[in-house]
């Protein structure tokens, strides 16, 4: 993967950001330890995204100044530290840094799929749920459990457009587009559908696009 900063420079850059945002004297030793694995995961994710800015001269690329890409990077570093039982305070700082820089709330313990994409995700909150690959979220989206702790299930190839939300026991099928402003509360959406409206009055129509080939451009 082509990087805008070499791994050592990227680690130093991120460490300076953390020190400036959180001047508490905490250490960032686990950055060096977990960054290589986080970059491996980032490369695998971006390899399946054919959108503009994710490839250059036929090669997968990561630009630390591309805010959508950097938001994914910060989540993956924090989640990789969490998975590896590293410094939880450092993972927390990375989570909060992502909120500060991008207004994106994805806690480091949330398990997003291996292949996902953020598209200008300002105001998006992604809580716990069961996710499959090719998940895409735009701005002001919400995913999470209800007051009883019931979690949604998100199928393979699902995109949430701006202002949509999926909460509670909802099961979203494969290749589903959730239209802008749609609210799905504890309802199911079949495969290969575009969902629209607000629960309990959710409507469906056959999806005219493939999330995997048209949104991710992965063939």
Span 161-180, average pLDDT: 98
pLDDT bucket at 65, cuts 50 / 70 / 90:
very high
68 in the same domain as 26: yes
Give the chain's domain count: 2
Q: Distance (Å, rounded) from C-alpha 52 to C-alpha 217?
A: 10
Span 185-209, average pLDDT: 96
176 in the same domain as 86: no
pLDDT for 135-153, tens place per residue? 999 999 999 999 999 999 9
CATH number of domain containing 192: 2.160.10.10
**Among candidates 34, 41, 43, which has minimal Cα distance to 15?**
34
128 in the same domain as 181: yes
| pLDDT score recorded for residue 39 | 98
85 in the same domain as 57: yes
> Would residue 108 count as lying in a domain?
no
Looking at every residue in the chain, the average pLDDT score rounds to 96
Cα atoms found within 13 Å of the Cα of residue 192, Cβ hemisphere only: 2
121 in the same domain as 97: no
| Residue-number span of the structural domain to which 164 is assigned | 116-215
Q: Which of 54, 72, 102 delimits the end of a domain?
A: 102
pLDDT bucket at 219, cuts 50 / 70 / 90:
low
pLDDT bucket at 13, cuts 50 / 70 / 90:
very high
120 in the same domain as 98: no
Q: Which of 102, 133, 163 delimits the end of a domain?
A: 102
Which residues 6+ apart lie within 8 Å of 62 measured at CB? 1, 2, 3, 4, 39, 42, 43, 46, 69, 73
- Taking the chain, what is the end-to-end CA distance rounded to the nearest angstrom? 19
179 in the same domain as 206: yes
Span 160-182, average pLDDT: 98
């Amino acid at each position: 993967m082509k990087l805008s900063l070499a791994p050592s420079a990227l680690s130093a850059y991120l460490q300076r950001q953390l020190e400036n945002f959180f001047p508490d004297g905490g250490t960032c030793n686990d950055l060096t330890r977990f960054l290589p694995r986080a970059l491996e995961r980032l490369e695998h994710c971006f390899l399946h995204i054919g959108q503009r800015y994710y490839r250059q001269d036929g090669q997968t690329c990561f630009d630390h100044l591309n805010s959508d890409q950097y938001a994914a990077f910060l989540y993956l570093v924090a989640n990789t530290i969490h998975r590896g039982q590293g410094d939880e305070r450092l993972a927390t700082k990375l989570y909060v840094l992502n909120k500060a820089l991008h207004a994106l709330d994805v806690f480091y313990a949330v398990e997003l799929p291996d292949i996902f994409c953020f598209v200008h995700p300002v105001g998006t909150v992604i809580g716990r749920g069961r996710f499959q690959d090719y998940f895409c979220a735009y701005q002001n989206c919400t995913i999470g459990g209800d007051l009883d702790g019931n979690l949604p299930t998100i199928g393979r190839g699902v995109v949430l457009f701006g202002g949509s939300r999926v909460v509670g026991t909802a099961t979203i099928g494969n290749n589903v587009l959730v239209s802008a402003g749609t609210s799905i509360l504890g309802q199911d959406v079949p495969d290969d559908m575009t969902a629209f409206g607000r629960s309990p009055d959710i409507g469906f129509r056959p999806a005219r696009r493939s999330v995997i080939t048209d949104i991710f451009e992965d063939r």
